[in-house]
């Protein structure tokens, strides 16, 4: 008998038929002798349509009220799933985040979970209930409803898992696991049976969209195993586990991001401005993928940021306001980034292999970065798919067949 | 400056355009110097469509979970109205029933309000906010979400009004007031500027559907004036006030109900069974409009109930199970009831007038009842409209023109 937390995303609960499939699966797991906690997202599409309604009445809706509005979707899923499980002859009870004591910061629309009280959940599990909890939401210390931002239901599931010391957290979605590369780009990409938390965090940060980064960090912190799998095929997916539980492997997967821009501030007399610029970017919550800085040939400081293309104009204006000199900023659009993820990828041999690929194919990297578990190359967007396939062939296919 | 509670029903907040009209009206009232509390219903049609979704997944959904599901509609209205008011340049904040301390019994789907904490509402009013509260819902002592049953938002508005000692409660709806009779049946029916609580309770119980009975009882208990008016024309409607504030008047209005049945249990050896029968009816929450009992010509006890036609079969089966004798029950379908409402209607002169109308027109009453403020006649359904017009002409038109 295990204590299992299962999380179901929006596509898994989007209509009556899908809800009934989920109910059957939860009941099957319960009948196998497990204690079941289920975390649900809003029905697919509902959050977007609620945002649209909000924008109809207010061009810039209050964050607090937006959270009151957006939290209803998960409540609908939770109540309906509870009814569907009871219809199958098992006791079920739903709780909203605030009801089950999910305490968060008061950063509306992007709150962080501070604490979860396990008592109510455990009490209902012990009286043989399936416990259903709304994902994505909680309450601040004054009882205001808060939401955790996009993908926040994954974080709810892991945080609940940690609070009740669950044996495992299963994240059900519309893909059947994590692949060595995007199968739409790289035909021979394969499903990865197991990755480490560190690798998963690198993958999420470098373009793999399946798991919310914060949820993996939380799982790593509390040592909760995550099983990412499909709510459509119900087959085994990918396990995300502690590093110490992993067998060693070189390259776990190749990820990519497109639609990036590089913004370079040149001719800086000193680097005194840099911390100011970083503060501006932090305040506006602008996601900077890579930063590189140094002296350029003429002896001036220079700093480059890699960011979403759609943010480039706004950010360059923000920086211009700060620095007061237009000519200092250079923007390159139409970039992408390809990354190799895996423990030990920073080895000289691997970096050498990629250099050879780039040279042989006439692809010029615009930026590069490496960490213990990732190697990233920023290239012209038109070269992203090609580079991805080449790196997959060289770094994954060859070592698999070796 | 007044402290005003305004309640808006489902048709008043059913789409963006209506919500914006409501926001403008609330802001207009605020700019006139009033402190504003607004109670909202779910967008028109939403509650019914949620019930339909529930029935798709469970043939008999748990009451608790149904309340979790149904409470989202008001939450959507409240958040959107708050945003619409902010767009007009005023501060607004929404609260769910549980957030604002609306404590109820744990009768799911039909809970009663036990208490409301005024602190949070007053705090926000004093910091110049429009305070918006979800109607129809609260929480029991364990924090479970409860709903108050159909029309419960009216009750929320009056209970909030009582808790904060509001100067008046305005109930906005899609009709523009209370009429002396249904204008679709009686052409010369007129809008009543003012009725007493007692008269309003009689009217609600005898077929007038505009105000929820419980809300009027609550208003009477706490002496809160209600102004029932239209959210479409925004014109003055009907005031419901304490009896002592009313000018005396004979007949205030004529109401009617159709689709009734009379169920008579005859040949009872003793009336021992009667209390058992009443208990059954009470447990099933069957609304009995009238009861009459007595001895029939053969010396047996006899009891008659007037109830909804659609309940007649179910109720007669329940009673048969209890009494174990089929022949004892007689059911008459296709009945209706016409009532004259007003302080002093039980006068001999008035009762005599109605008797004359019934005789002159060959209408035979099947049951009758009278109270200090109502006179009711149960007749064949086909005679209801005719009797209503005749009574309106005789008891209202004549005294108006006198």
Please check the confidence at residue A65 and state whether its pLDDT lies above 80.
yes
Domain B3-174 class?
alpha beta
What pLDDT shows up at residue B157?
A: 97
Average pLDDT value for residue range B71-80: 97
Please check the confidence at residue A323 and state whether its pLDDT lies above 60.
yes
Torsional class of B259: left (φ above 0), alpha (ψ -120 to 50), beta (otherwise): left
Q: Which residue has the higher pLDDT, B170 or A271?
A: B170
Contacts of A61 in chain B (CB under 8 A): 83, 86
Helix axes A72-87, A16-31, angle to 10 degrees: 60
Report how many helices (DSSP H) and strands (DSSP E) chain B contains, helices first: 13, 18
Q: pLDDT (tens digit, 9 = 90+) per residue, B276-324?
A: 777 778 777 788 888 887 767 676 777 888 999 988 888 888 888 777 7
What pLDDT shows up at residue B74?
A: 97
Q: Which residues of A137-150 are buried (b: 16+ CB within 10 A; e: fewer)?
A: bbbbeeebbbbbbe
Distance CA A254, CA A340 (A): 5
Could you give the strand order of the β-sheet that contains A329-341, starting from the edge strand earlier in sequence?
Answer: A288-295, A301-308, A253-268, A329-341, A374-380, A367-370
Q: Residue A306 belongs to what H/E stretch?
A: strand A301-308
User: B402: pLDDT confidence band, cut at 50, 70 and 90?
Assistant: very low
Average pLDDT value for residue range A298-321: 83
Please check the confidence at residue A247 and state whether its pLDDT lies above 60.
no
Q: How many CB pairs under 8 A join A and B?
A: 109
Distance CA B267, CA B289 (A): 22
Please check the confidence at residue A348 and state whether its pLDDT lies above 80.
no
Q: pLDDT (tens digit, 9 = 90+) per residue, A35-47?
A: 999 999 999 999 9
The burial of A185, by beta-carbon neighbours within 10 Å (0-12 exposed, 13-18 middle, 19 or more buried), is given as middle
| Listed range (A5-19, A262-276, B251-265, B350-364) with the worst mean pLDDT | A262-276
What pLDDT shows up at residue B273?
A: 67
Please check the confidence at residue B230 and state whether its pLDDT lies above 90.
yes
What pLDDT shows up at residue B245?
A: 54
What pLDDT shows up at residue A370?
A: 81
Residue carrying the six token digits 């043939």: B59
Reference A160, options A214, A213, A224, A105; nearest CA is A224
Give residue limits of the domains in chain B: 3-174, 253-401
Reference A74, options A107, A108, A99; nearest CA is A99
Contacts of B286-292 with C-beta under 8 Å, sequence gap 24+, read B286/B311, B286/B315, B287/B311, B289/B257, B289/B260, B289/B337, B290/B337, B290/B367, B290/B369, B290/B376, B290/B378, B292/B367, B292/B369
Structure tokens at B32: 């006139």
Please check the confidence at residue B250 and state whether its pLDDT lies above 70.
no
| Listed range (A76-90, A247-261, A367-381, B380-394) with the worst mean pLDDT | A247-261
Asked whether the ipTM of the predicted complex exceeds the cut of 0.85, the reply is no
Coil vs helix vs strand at A173:
strand
Please check the confidence at residue B139 and state whether its pLDDT lies above 60.
yes
What pLDDT shows up at residue A402?
A: 47
Opening angle at CA B234, ends B233 and B239, nearest 5: 120
Distance CA A295, CA A316 (A): 20
Average pLDDT value for residue range B12-27: 96
Average pLDDT value for residue range A151-178: 93
| Listed range (A264-268, B44-48, B83-87, B334-338) with the worst mean pLDDT | A264-268
Question: What is the pLDDT of chain B when averaged over all its residues?
Answer: 88
Please report, for residues A257, A359, A391, the alpha-carbon distance to residue A355 in angstroms, rounded to integers and kept in the order given.
Answer: 20, 6, 10
Q: Judge: A86–B58 Cβ closer than 8 Å, yes or no.
A: yes
Which residues of A make CB contacts under 8 Å with B? 16, 19-20, 23, 50, 53-54, 56-59, 61-62, 64-66, 68-69, 71-72, 75-76, 78-80, 82-84, 86-87, 92-94, 96, 99, 143-145
Q: Enumerate residues 6+ apart whose C-beta is below 8 A from B356.
A: none
What pLDDT shows up at residue B96?
A: 97
Coil vs helix vs strand at B116:
strand
Reference A11, options A37, A35, A47; nearest CA is A47
Q: Judge: A54–B80 Cβ closer than 8 Å, yes or no.
A: yes
What pLDDT shows up at residue A387?
A: 94
Q: Please answer whether residues B117 and B100 qualify as being in contact, where contact means their C-beta atoms are separated by less than 8 angstroms.
A: yes
DSSP single-letter state for residue A397: I
| Listed range (A220-229, B147-156, B326-335) with the worst mean pLDDT | B326-335
Choose the most confident range, by mean pLDDT, from A158-172, B239-253, B275-289: A158-172
Structure tokens at A208: 């793999």
Please report, for residues A58, A66, B17, B70, B91, the alpha-carbon distance to residue A53 in angstroms, rounded to integers and kept in the order given.
Answer: 9, 10, 11, 19, 20
Q: Judge: B69–A79 Cβ closer than 8 Å, yes or no.
A: yes
Q: Residue A374 belongs to what H/E stretch?
A: strand A374-380
Please report, for residues A241, A261, A331, the alpha-carbon distance to residue A304 in angstroms, rounded to integers and kept in the order given.
Answer: 34, 10, 9
A253-401 CATH fold: VC0802-like (3.30.2130)
A356 assigned ligand-binding residue: no
Reference B384, options B216, B197, B255, B221; nearest CA is B255
Q: Judge: B87–A59 Cβ closer than 8 Å, yes or no.
A: yes
């Amino acid at each position: 008998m295990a204590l299992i937390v299962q999380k179901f995303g929006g596509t898994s609960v989007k209509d009556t038929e899908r809800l009934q499939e989920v109910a059957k699966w939860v009941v099957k797991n319960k009948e196998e002798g497990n204690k079941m906690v289920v975390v649900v997202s809003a029905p697919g599409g509902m959050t977007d349509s609620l945002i649209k309604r909000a924008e109809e009445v207010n061009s810039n809706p209050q964050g607090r009220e937006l959270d009151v509005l957006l939290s209803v979707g998960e409540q609908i899923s939770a109540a309906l799933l509870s009814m569907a499980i009871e219809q199958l002859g098992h006791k079920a009870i739903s709780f909203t985040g605030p009801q089950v004591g999910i305490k968060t910061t008061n950063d509306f629309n992007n709150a962080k979970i501070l604490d979860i009280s396990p008592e109510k959940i455990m009490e209902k599990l012990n009286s043989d209930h399936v416990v259903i909890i709304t994902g994505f939401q909680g309450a601040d210390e004054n009882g205001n409803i808060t939401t955790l931002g996009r993908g926040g239901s994954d974080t709810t599931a892991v945080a609940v898992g940690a609070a009740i010391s669950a044996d495992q957290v299963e994240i059900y979605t519309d893909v059947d696991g994590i692949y060595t590369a995007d199968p739409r780009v790289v035909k021979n990409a394969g499903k990865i049976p197991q990755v480490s938390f560190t690798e998963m965090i690198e993958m999420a940060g470098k373009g793999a969209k399946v798991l919310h980064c914060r949820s993996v960090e939380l799982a790593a912190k509390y040592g909760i195993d995550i099983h990412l799998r499909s709510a459509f095929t119900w087959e085994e997916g990918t396990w995300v586990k502690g590093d110490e539980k992993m067998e060693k492997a070189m390259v776990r997967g190749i990820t990519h991001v497109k639609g990036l821009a590089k913004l370079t501030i040149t001719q800086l007399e000193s680097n005194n401005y840099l911390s100011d610029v970083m503060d501006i970017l932090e305040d506006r919550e602008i996601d900077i993928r890579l930063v590189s800085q140094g002296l350029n040939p003429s002896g001036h400081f220079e700093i480059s940021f890699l960011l979403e293309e759609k943010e480039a104009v706004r950010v360059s204006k923000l920086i211009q306001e700060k620095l007061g000199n237009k000519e200092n900023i250079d923007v390159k659009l139409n970039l992408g980034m390809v990354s190799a993820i895996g423990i030990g990828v920073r080895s000289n041999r691997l970096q050498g292999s990629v250099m050879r690929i780039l040279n042989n194919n006439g692809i010029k990297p615009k930026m590069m970065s490496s960490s213990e578990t990732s190697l990233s190359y920023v290239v012209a967007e038109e070269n992203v798919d090609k580079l991805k396939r080449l790196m997959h062939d060289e770094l994954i296919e060859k070592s698999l067949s070796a």
